Amino acid sequence: MRVIAGTAKGVRLGPVPRGVRPVSDRAREGVFSSLGAGVPGTRVLDLYAGTGAMAIEALSRGAEHATLVEAAEIVPSDVLAFVIRDDKSLEAFDLIFVDPPYAMDHEELDRLVAAIGSAGLSGPAWRVILTRPKRSSMPVIPLHWLAARRLSYGDTLVLIFREV
């Protein structure tokens, strides 16, 4: 695992913890190529952060701020509980990376996506980047989300959503 581009280009990230499935270098490169100039100055939320590679890559490419949520590190919280907390609004974020475990229960994923969709994303250029295994069913997507890009890397499907 390494940072692909930006000010930290080439920096190796720590070893991948047991049980963590990081987004591959190739998939991250594709995501950030798709986001292009939409990264500098943004506020990033990395849900199911794992190694933190998505947020670190965003910071390396000029993001202003990153919050990482993982069950045991950075922000120790269940992701759904973090998203629906009364004292925490997603409005402050422009990019939200959602990389849940591939084995996540489909109903739990639907609840998470619905919670993010109703959280009041409001910036003019917000994006939600969702990773799923290619052979899984898709969660119910909020009506005001448009699938702007669909990227495929190995067994990983990356969907980039924006406001309709």
pLDDT of 56-107, one tens digit each?
A: 999 999 999 999 998 775 678 888 888 888 655 787 888 999 999 988 999 9
Considering the chain, what is the average pLDDT of its residues?
Answer: 88
- Kindly report the CATH number assigned to the domain that includes residue 42: 3.40.50.150
Residue 9, SS3 per DSSP:
coil
Count of structural domains within the chain: 1
Instruction: Supply angle C-alpha 98, 102, 105, rounded to 5.
Output: 90
- Tens of pLDDT, residues 13-42: 878 878 888 888 899 999 999 998 999 999
Range of the domain at 39: 25-163
Q: Does residue 99 lie within any of the structural domains?
A: yes
112, pLDDT greater than 60: yes
Query: Within a 10 A sphere around the Cβ of 150, how many other Cβ atoms?
Result: 10
pLDDT band at 51 (very low <50, low <70, confident <90, very high): confident
What is the reported pLDDT for 86?
61
Per-residue pLDDT at 74? 63
Cβ neighbourhood burial of 32 (10 Å; 0-12, 13-18, 19+): buried
Q: Please check whether residue 15 lies inside any domain of the structure.
A: no
- 122 versus 97: the higher-pLDDT residue is 97
